[in-house]
A = this chain, B = another copy of it.
Amino acid sequence: MIQLTILGCHSATPRADAYPTAQVLDIKGELMLIDCGEGTQVQLRKQKVKFSRLSHIFISHLHGDHYLGLIGLLSTFSLLSRTAELHIYAPKGLEEILKLQFKVGHSYMSYPLIFHTLASSEPETILDNEKLTVETIPLDHRIYTNGFLFKAKVGDRKLLIDKVLDLNIDKAYYKSIVKGKDVKNRDGKLINNKDITEDPKPAHSYAFCSDTAFKPNIVPQITGVSLLYHESTFLEEQEHLCKKTKHSTAKQAGIMAKKAQVHKLILGHFSARYKDLSLFEKEAKVVFNNAEIAEAGKIFRCD
């Protein structure tokens, strides 16, 4: 299971009804934060996310609308007497900024804060545990920027309990069976694993790509993901602004989704110049039909 909660999906300046980039991703109970614009901690409360459970925070790049809410959130964890480790994955510079802020405020955190500094221009695996892996997706923006590819790991095989009982298999073997092993039953007969299990649920994946110019060379890395979030700061009419600002249009996001044969495309990082956000969905759908705009509070789930 993966579940993505949008906390904010607008570019640049926060406004009363427009929150900068921040998302919570839940993969099999592992709760992770992706980007953390100003006001994220208030959004976490509004969306009723149990944010004390956050274990890993991924920051794509050091433009303010993607990280300025982090220092406040870290301080709040400390006020709430957090003790669990917190891992932060971010470009060079963030650790220095945060440590300077702690220093001038004579603040110290009540929990271990572990920094993972990202500097490579090639994809790298930055997290690998029993539930998932996370890879960086090098993007093309005005400053050093990574997207992130989250892949849930395939779970155990599903035990067909009726067959197992029929075949007189000892309960002690169940753990081995769900791992795919053939076992002997109480009569000493070897039982083929495929006869007593089903394939596990498919392992879903999520690719987060913000902020970036159109960058088709990442397609092989993100091909086949369940969910792709791709920025669409502009509509095609303003494509000329993409070159200087290193952003994408909704159409380009649609092209990426199509090329990568993803299951669903989520659009976000909308420029404040647009009032009618449905135009983004409309533009992307011309190229790739299963497209939807992000919105604060929206939840995308793959079971």
Chain B residues near A39: list those with CB within 8 A: 14, 38-39, 42
User: Using Cβ atoms and an 8 Å threshold, which residues of chain B touch A63?
Assistant: 105, 107
In the complex, the answer to whether B143 meets A76 with C-beta atoms within 8 Å is no
Task: Write the chain B residue with the least CB distance to A15.
Answer: B45
Name the interface residues of A74-88: CB closer than 8 Å to any CB of B.
Answer: 75-76, 79
Q: Are A71 and B68 in contact (CB under 8 A)?
A: yes
Identity of the chain B residue whose Cβ is nearest the Cβ of A75 in the assembled complex = B64
A23 contacts partner chain B, Cβ-Cβ < 8 Å? no
A101–B97 CA distance with the chains assembled, in angstroms: 7
A12: interface (CB < 8 Å): yes
Q: How many copies does the complex hold?
A: 2
CA distance A19 to B175 in the complex (A): 51
Return chain B residues, CB-CB under 8 Å to A104.
62, 91-94, 96-97, 143
A109 to chain B, nearest CB (A): 12
**Min C-beta distance of A96 to chain B, whole Å:** 7
Q: Mark A100-120, 1 if CB is under 8 A from B, else 0.
A: 110111110000000000000
- Closest chain-B Cβ to A274's Cβ sits at a distance in Å of 16
The docked-state distance in angstroms from the alpha carbon of A128 to that of B201 is: 70
A101 to B66, CA, bound (A): 12
Instruction: Report chain B residues within 8 Å CB of A41.
Output: 13-14, 38
Q: Which of A227-281 contact B (CB under 8 A)?
A: none
Residues in B with CB closer than 8 Å to A91 are 104
What are the interface flags for A1-39 relative to B under an 8 Å C-beta threshold, 1 for contact and 0 otherwise?
000000000001111100000000000000000000011
6 smallest beta-carbon distances between A and B, as pairs: A93-B104, A62-B104, A38-B72, A13-B76, A64-B75, A16-B46
Contact B142 A106 (CB under 8 A): yes
Within 8 A of B (CB), among A38-58: 38-39, 41-42, 45-46
Kindly identify which residue among B64, B100, B143 contacts A71, using a CB–CB cutoff of 8 Å.
Answer: B64
State A276–B89 Cα separation when bound (angstroms). 40
Q: What residues of B have a CB within 8 angstroms of the CB of A64 in the complex?
A: 71-72, 75, 101, 105, 107
Cβ–Cβ < 8 Å partners of A72 in chain B: 13-14, 38, 64, 68
